[in-house]
Structure 1
Amino acid sequence: MQWEQLLSAKRWGTVNYPMKDEDEARSQFQRDYDRLIFSSPFRRLQNKTQVFPLPGSVFVHNRLTHSLEVASVGRSLSRIFYNSLKKQEPQLDIRLPLISEVGNIVASACLAHDMGNPAFGHSGEAAISYYFSNGPGSKYQQQLTEAQWEDLIHFEGNANALRILTHPFTGKGNGAFALTYSTLASIVKYPCQATAGHVKGNIHQKKYGWFQSEEETFKQLATEMGLLQVSANPVIYKRHPLVYLVEAADDICYNIIDLEDAHRLKILTYEQIEELLLPLCESASGTLADRLKTDYSDEDAKVGLLRARAINTLTQACAKLFLDHQDALLKGEFNQALTDALPGPLLAAWKRIEAISVEKIYNYPAVVQIEIAGYKVMGGLLEEFIPALVENQSKYHQKLIALIPKQFISADTSLYARIQSVLDFVSGMTDLYAVEFYKYIKGIEFPAIR
């Protein structure tokens, strides 16, 4: 793969696209960022669970604040890479006119990386998958292709993000968001179809990157940018190199900032946080440890400083890894996340944080409770709406269909398309809206007339 081809300002859904910026205020990739910031799907992330239940008396991160922070770290990672590369090659911008835009490309992809995640965090994905694999939806298996079925029983938020950004929803215009090819490709962590996903040992096949409905979309992106194709059947590509920076920014933010939320919720003590983060803060941690004792009395402020220093250390380290392994990345030969390639002491501290997070945070009772609630609510919504749109056998079904916004009703009447219409509707709901809607259609509460 070559940067000359990987950095493309071509916009999805457009035939003629500008090779030069028409907007004096913004580059093409800055326009991507702005389009995402002002979009409804991005705005809805403010009421989607990151880890801890929403809302609460203590403000914790949601999908929107997480995405903004990931974008900030992603831009920093990319700028460090670009500045380091330019020091090695002073004429870099002449050879690669778009290389200076990697920060904007990665920041935009970071904003979009969670837009396909349903309500209730990863439990929402699991609830959708369970409905088809073990629930009432299993009856549709024989009527779908193997590839379509795999999409449903392993519902993937990353693949759903690509759909949201490229699918021509009814009345929304054929170009959808019309983002640049490079931004779109940079969100696809697992560039393979569902039947080729879930392969241990291959980072690009850990899950999958698109639904069958978007396979031709990704092929077009891959062809335009010269992504390495591993297999034509099943369809498998190697990652766009910038995916590694998006992934690193995401990993850094949720691993470090989940600790900060856990401290605010009194799940972890300050002493535990300091023990976990201090090894990531600087090579001579004694200096910072002394400063924390003498200059700070507020524990939240101490945690904030530790969090900032730890993120800075990890950002610098991952940017260096990306630069050092640039050749392997372009050849598609780098087969691990940048955070898994950290040097010894940093990697040991990183793995310790991961272990504590699983033990103390992700299995915390309130977190588990929201996951269980997600199963009930998401499963309950699918139990009502999928039979209604697929079978449409009663007046009750027709009334349910009338509740689905027109943008999600596809002209395609195939079973797979109708199921996707419901998934588009349900997966886009926020946590609170999903709960309220579930109560209304189950008769638990009655909606107010507005």
Structure 2
Amino acid sequence: MEWNTLLSTQRMRGGANKKGKPVDLRSEFEKDYHRIIGSASFRRLQDKTQVFPLDKSDFIRTRLTHSLEVSSFGKSLGQNIGENILSNRKDPGFTLQMKEDICHILQCAGLIHDIGNPPFGHFGEDAIREWFTRHLPELDFFGTPVEELLTPQMREDFYHFEGNAQALRLVTKLHYLVDENGMNLTYALLNTIVKYPVASTGIDKTTGNIKDKKMGYYYADQNIFEEIVSSTGAGKNRHPLTYILEAADDLAYKTADIEDAFVKGFISYHDLEKELEGLQSSFTDLSFDALGKLRTLYERGKEKQADNPEAYAVKNWIVRVQGFLISCATSGFTSNYESIMAGTFKQDIFHGTFGEKLMDLLGDMAYRYVFSSTAIYKMEVTEAVILDFLMDKLVHAVLYYDTDAKMNSIDSRVVSFISENYKNAYKYQAEGKSEAEKLYLRLLLVTDYVCGMTDSYAKRLYQEMNGLV
């Protein structure tokens, strides 16, 4: 892969300066940034769960604040890695302008990497996926099982439903404002957010290659995916910037989950100290003395007569850890540069670095102390009830939408709830398609609508439809 094609500025719809208009001095990737932050989908992230749904605290992170952090880390990593490539002459074709471009692309990619996720965080993805696993085999359409009408890839799209694939779909198809081209973002940016460049039928967790773990695009969006990767030259490989985006995402959520869990009382200073003691004993080569740094900060907090020296220590420790992990990710990318550019690198860029075990510990702590706690389980049971109900009603309503069959009064009203924006996108995509493809697109219309919901809207709609308001 070569940077001159990987940084493709091509868009689905081209554009040109009109005669007499002032020249826009922004780069194509800077234009992407303004398209994103002005979108309704980006604004909705402020009311979508990161870890703690519908939390009353203004400290706890939402999808919006998480995305802003990923954007910031992504840009920082781009600066570090770009400078390393230049200063060490790793690639004679890499230029200073390319360094600037990858920083802008990663900044934008951080903003939209989670933009397709449904309400209620990653559990929302699980709930939708499990709904289809339970109910798709039971559905029939004019007397024929829906499973028989759909192709294998169509079926697997629902059984392996992914927020990652939904993000690509949303920004390329569902912003039906000017025309059918969505946000009309650059192909370099679109390729960067495709973490898994495989179809739902191509998932293979036995290969050991990180890119094959999940699907990256729906059957409905295969043409645009192929056009993107043809333009960038990435083909079936991960775009190199995807590794950096993934590292920024992992770094952001693993450190933030610990900080949020501390603030919410799930993890104490002494819990963190004890966990780091275990890390030190099992990994003596760690170049960053995580435990020593935590204890030093605690003593400093006491010296400064901080109201809560434990909070002072944990919050300042998180900042130090983030700086250390940025260095690790930079090293991970640059030391594997040739295999990443060749498309043969199979791991994430923390693999083999001094930060790998610390990252593993932070993720494991979040799971043990937070995600498997009774409090979170209770929230998730409530969320499952909401999403199951909405999926039941919406799927039943769209089955015969846009067919010759007469819809009952309830189904027609439920369909009316769906955004005209999404319905217009459906009608454009369904034009000239077979009945099976239209049925598939109507099921996607449901996931499009549900994924566009905020946590509050999903809860409110559930309550209104059940007469609880």
Q: What's the TM-score, normalizing by structure 2?
A: 0.86
What is the aligned partner in structure 1 of residue 393 from structure 2? Answer: 384
| CA offset digits 1:37-95 (Å, max 9, x no partner) | 22111111111111112222463111110010011111111100111122123996885
- CA–CA distance in structure 1, aligned partners of residues 413 and 137 of structure 2: 21
| CA offset digits 1:325-380 (Å, max 9, x no partner) | 1110011111011123323xx33333222222211111122222222222211111
Q: Is 2:117 the partner of 1:111?
A: no
Q: Is 2:349 the partner of 1:338?
A: yes
- CA–CA distance in structure 2, aligned partners of residues 58 and 249 of structure 1: 23
Q: Is 2:219 the partner of 1:205?
A: no
Structure 1 residues 224 and 91, CA gap change in structure 2 (3 angstroms): closer
Among candidates 338, 343, 356, match of residue 347 of structure 1: 356
CA apart distance, 1:172: 4.3
Aligned 8 A contact 2:106 2:241 in 1: yes
- CA–CA distance in structure 2, aligned partners of residues 149 and 261 of structure 1: 38
1:53 partner amino acid:
P
What is the aligned partner in structure 2 of residue 255 from structure 1? Answer: 254
1:380 partner amino acid:
F
User: Any stretches of 5+ residues in structure 2 without a counterpart?
Assistant: 140-145, 281-285, 402-406
| CA offset digits 1:135-192 (Å, max 9, x no partner) | 3664222221110111111110000000001015544422211111111100110000
- CA–CA distance in structure 1, aligned partners of residues 212 and 197 of structure 2: 7
2:420 partner amino acid:
K
Among candidates 461, 464, 467, match of residue 437 of structure 1: 461
CA apart distance, 1:102: 0.9
Return 29-38 or 328-337, whichever deviates more. Answer: 29-38
User: CA RMSD, aligned part only?
Assistant: 2.5
1:127 partner amino acid:
A
Aligned 8 A contact 1:198 1:208 in 2: no
SS at match of 1:134: helix
SS at match of 2:50: coil
What is the aligned partner in structure 2 of residue 267 from structure 1? Answer: 266
Equivalent residue runs for 1:265-344 within 5 Å:
265-274=264-273, 282-283=288-289, 286=292, 289-294=295-300, 295-296=303-304, 297=306, 298=308, 299-343=310-354
Equivalent residue runs for 1:105-254 within 5 Å:
105-135=105-135, 138-139=138-139, 140-167=146-173, 169-200=175-206, 201-228=208-235, 237-254=236-253
- CA–CA distance in structure 2, aligned partners of residues 172 and 198 of structure 1: 38
| CA offset digits 1:185-232 (Å, max 9, x no partner) | 00110000001114231211100100101111110011111114xxxx
What is the aligned partner in structure 2 of residue 30 from structure 1? Answer: 30
Q: What's the TM-score, normalizing by structure 1?
A: 0.89
CA apart distance, 1:383: 0.8
What is the aligned partner in structure 1 of residue 143 from structure 2? Answer: none
| CA offset digits 1:15-53 (Å, max 9, x no partner) | 7699xx9422x3221221222122111111111111112
Aligned 8 A contact 1:263 1:273 in 2: no
Structure 1 residues 87 and 219, CA gap change in structure 2 (3 angstroms): same
SS at match of 2:350: helix
| CA offset digits 1:229-261 (Å, max 9, x no partner) | xxxxxxxx1100100000000111111110000
Aligned 8 A contact 2:332 2:350 in 1: no
CA apart distance, 1:390: 1.4
- CA–CA distance in structure 1, aligned partners of residues 334 and 177 of structure 2: 43
- CA–CA distance in structure 1, aligned partners of residues 249 and 441 of structure 2: 31
- CA–CA distance in structure 2, aligned partners of residues 415 and 440 of structure 1: 27
Aligned 8 A contact 1:129 1:152 in 2: yes
- CA–CA distance in structure 1, aligned partners of residues 91 and 163 of structure 2: 40
- CA–CA distance in structure 2, aligned partners of residues 79 and 158 of structure 1: 25
Aligned 8 A contact 1:281 1:306 in 2: no
CA apart distance, 1:433: 0.4
| CA offset digits 1:251-310 (Å, max 9, x no partner) | 111111100001101111112234557978935864663343034533333222101100
What is the aligned partner in structure 1 of residue 72 from structure 2? Answer: 72
Structure 1 residues 4 and 399, CA gap change in structure 2 (3 angstroms): same
